[in-house]
């Protein structure tokens, strides 16, 4: 029997499982990556235009790298709709800003007409062969190193950055779920935690900035 004077046991603090957050880059870094792809001197001007459009569709429409290199000509519509078939999670639809991307798409299609053969995918090499996943992965890695972007920057990081920017712009979780074609809303909700982590870093830096100095996110 415990004594009335015996101290109450302290509550054991609960251990919170550390959530693995998606890796993202800043809007400025993403824009720099796109410009670097178009100005890439290690490829021809026509290949550089194609490569930028590949990155644009991952960053502006949230496509996975396997999805963007697997697009057929009929899958990309002029009203800003991309039809995906046999993609991860099944068939689906993605969207892009037609006003922004149609000039690039038309420029690419003019090049593609000279390169493609019957059955060539939307993105192809001279002669009509497809652009591979590994090619895009190596391209992003090389441009990342060229620009000095710190941390992880892979093709999939462009998709994560797209989703995180949608959160910051006020899109609802169900809307982002549709944009990313997630089967489960909980998968989409992780992007809220990316914004939370960004807020934590901003608050932590408040005491280390000069009064009136803008804190960059």
Active site residues: 64, 88, 156, 159, 182, 191
Segment 91-97 long-range contacts (CB within 8 Å, at least 24 positions apart)? 92/181, 93/181, 94/61, 94/62, 94/63, 94/67, 94/179, 94/181, 95/61, 95/179, 96/56, 96/57, 96/60, 96/61, 97/60
Residue listed under structure tokens 């991952």: 58
The partner residues of 93 in beta bridges, in order of sequence, read 83
Angle, nearest 10°, between helix axes 27-38 and 45-61?
Answer: 160
- Residue 66: its H or E element: helix 65-69
């Amino acid at each position: 029997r415990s004594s009335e004077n015996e101290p109450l046991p302290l509550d054991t603090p609960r251990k919170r499982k550390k959530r693995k957050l998606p890796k993202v880059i800043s809007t400025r870094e993403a824009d720099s990556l796109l410009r670097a792809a178009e100005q890439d001197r290690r490829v021809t001007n026509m290949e550089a235009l194609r490569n930028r459009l590949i990155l644009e569709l991952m960053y502006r429409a949230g496509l996975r790298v396997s999805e963007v290199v697997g697009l057929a000509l009929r899958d990309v519509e002029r009203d800003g709709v991309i039809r995906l078939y046999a993609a991860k999670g099944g068939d689906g639809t993605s969207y892009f800003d037609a006003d922004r991307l149609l000039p690039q798409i038309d420029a690419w299609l003019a090049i593609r007409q000279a390169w493609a053969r019957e059955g060539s995918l939307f993105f192809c090499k001279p002669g009509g062969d497809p652009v591979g996943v590994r090619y895009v992965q190596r391209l992003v890695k090389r441009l990342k190193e060229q620009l000095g972007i710190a941390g992880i920057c892979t093709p999939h990081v462009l998709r994560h950055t797209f989703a995180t920017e949608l959160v910051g712009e006020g899109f609802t979780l169900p809307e982002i779920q549709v944009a990313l074609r997630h089967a489960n809303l909980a998968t989409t909700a992780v992007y809220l935690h990316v914004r939370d982590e960004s807020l934590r870093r901003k608050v932590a830096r408040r005491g280390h900035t000069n009064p009136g100095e803008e804190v960059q996110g």
